[in-house]
Amino acid sequence: MTSAVQVSDFQLSPELVEFQQKVRAYTQEHLKDAARYDAEARFPREAVAAAAKLGLLCTTVAEEHGGSAMGNLASCVMLEEINSACAATGVTISVHNSLVNSLLGKWCNEEQKKRWFPKMVTGEWLGAYCLSEAFSGSDAAALRCEAKKNGDHYVMNGAKLWITTGSEADLFVIFARTGEDRVNGISAFVVEKTWDGVSVGKKERKLGLRGSPTTEIVCENVKVPADCLIGEEGIGFKIALDTLDGGRLGIASQSLGIARAAIDLMRDHLGKQVDHKGRPNASQPDQWDFADLASDLDAYRFLTWRAAVLRDQGVRCSTEAAMAKSCASRLANRAARRAVSMLGLAGVDGSNPAERLLRDARITEIYEGATDIQRLVIARGLLA
């Protein structure tokens, strides 16, 4: 899955700039209702469908399977754009591409790919990634959901929690225990929504990202055909972690998008304050904070692109992806908080996106590996 497009001297290639503009046009046309998705906790189905039409749900899929094979860097560029307008749409697309499609492409056999990709690349089906459980979040290997081999199938029992797109997805990648070993007893399966025993459990009511349904996915004696096992038994945790490197790039890009939106709000706010000669005369502390945040936005975008390029080149990028996610997600929160402060009452009264950005940003430090887990990955990587 090598990207056809590159970063050279910190500039995107012309192909990527063109792609970026295409995505920007999409966001302007289709993501106007972000505030409403949030207020009504309504899944942005039409927006996701429109994205699918434009081929935005298949960026991490090879061309032979119907994908655009644009790769991780292109996905990052795309996700920053989308998330700057609507984080609920952004995470839906990020999970579909970075966690599900890229996993299927990398770890499934040809037959499996042919079975699922036709629906996944078109967005006819949406994907969800089911790793966390009630008692295993950061400590993912503590998962308890089990899949017992029984002839030509497995019997799966367990409940997965915090599943993004849970109630809207058609294809679930579910990590389940096939053996006792904490790490090597975990395997990955594809489970389809329509199968007997698969149900959507509790839907979370959340601080933000309310347009993206986060639900429990419950498996009760689900008969999972053996040919839905991904790769082989026991490599599930390895698959999960490898996939998360890519997922983290998606969340880093989401964070950049949210940060950018917050910084844009500040820019508008500061830009309006001029003296009688039209020169900026906004509060210096406000301007300085804006300058610091805008600098970090550029810096952490480079961190994100660097990791994406490595992943596109097939180089392991756990440390680099963790750096990108950790830095970008903290920036998103800092920027959104600062935007609210700077806008004052207009920052909290819902008359502009500031307060939504603050609520949406908060999840980026939590999901797909909380900040402290990113720091652990980085420290281990650098101290090794």
Partner 1 sequence: MHNLQLTDDQEMVVDTVKKFVVDSVAPKAQELDEHRTFVRDWCDALAELGVYGLSLAEDKGGAGMGLVPFVAALEAVGEHSGSLARLWIGQMQAVMALESVGGDLLDELAAGSKLAAFIGAEHGFTFADGRLTGSAAFVPAALEADVLIVVAGDAVVQVDASACTRTATTGLGLNSAACGRVECDGVGATELAGADAHKAELVALVGTAAAAVGAGVGSVRVGRNHAAERIAFGKPLLAQQAVQRKLVESTRRVEAARQLTWHAARLADLGGDAADAAAHARITAVDAAVQASDEAIQILGGYGYTVEYHAERHYRDAKTFEVLDGGSNALRDRLAAKAFV
Question: How far is it, in rounded angstroms, from Cα 345 to Cα 97?
Answer: 38
Is residue 111 within the footprint of a second copy (CB under 8 A)? no
CB of 369: closest distance to partner 1 in angstroms?
10
Contacts of 241 (CB under 8 A, 6+ apart): 318
Of a second copy, partner 1, none, which one does residue 32 interact with (CB within 5 to 8 Å by kind)? none
First to last CA, the chain: 28
Which pair of structure tokens corresponds to residue 232?
């082989």
Write out the binding residues for a second copy, residues 334-373 only, by CB under 8 A: 372
Pick between residue 131 and residue 252 the one whose CB is nearest to a second copy. Answer: 252
Which pair of structure tokens corresponds to residue 219?
């498996």
- The answer to whether residues 300 and 252 touch, using CB atoms and an 8 Å cutoff, is yes
Which pair of structure tokens corresponds to residue 58?
């298949």
- Say which residue the tokens 């609210």 belong to: 340
Question: How far is it, in rounded angstroms, from Cα 240 to Cα 231?
Answer: 12
- Residues lying near partner 1 in the complex (CB under 8 A) are found at 39, 132, 135-139, 142, 161-162, 204-208, 283-286, 288, 333, 337, 340-351, 355, 358-359, 362-363, 365-367, 370-372, 375
Is residue 183 within the footprint of a second copy (CB under 8 A)? no
- Of 18, 64, 220, 298, the residue at the interface with a second copy (CB under 8 A) is 298
Q: Which helix (H) or strand (E) holds 154?
A: strand 153-164
Of partner 1, a second copy, none, which one does residue 135 interact with (CB within 5 to 8 Å by kind)? partner 1
Of partner 1, a second copy, none, which one does residue 326 interact with (CB within 5 to 8 Å by kind)? a second copy
For the question of residue 15 being annotated catalytic, the response is: no
CB of 296: closest distance to a second copy in angstroms?
7
Nearest to 103 by CA among 238, 254, 222, 303: 238
Q: Which helix (H) or strand (E) holds 103?
A: helix 102-107
Is residue 280 within the footprint of a second copy (CB under 8 A)? yes
- Of 38, 81, 168, 296, the residue at the interface with a second copy (CB under 8 A) is 296
Pick between residue 28 and residue 281 the one whose CB is nearest to partner 1. Answer: 281
CA distances to 66, 79, 111, 164, 287 from 129, rounded to whole Å, are: 21, 18, 21, 7, 41
CA angle 337, 343, 348 (to 5 degrees): 70
81, 133, 168, 368: which is the annotated catalytic residue?
368
Is residue 375 within the footprint of a second copy (CB under 8 A)? yes
Q: In a 10 Å sphere around its CB, with 0-12 CB exposed, 13-18 middle and 19+ buried, how is residue 26 labelled?
A: buried
Question: How far is it, in rounded angstroms, from Cα 82 to Cα 148?
Answer: 40
CB of 305: closest distance to a second copy in angstroms?
7
Write out the binding residues for a second copy, residues 249-268 only, by CB under 8 A: 267
CB of 349: closest distance to partner 1 in angstroms?
5
Is residue 114 within the footprint of a second copy (CB under 8 A)? no
Catalytic amino acids?
368
Question: Which residues sit at the interface with a second copy, rule CB under 8 A?
Answer: 6-10, 267, 270-271, 280, 284, 287-288, 290-292, 294-296, 298-300, 302-303, 305-306, 309, 313, 320, 323, 326-327, 372, 374-376, 378-380, 382-383
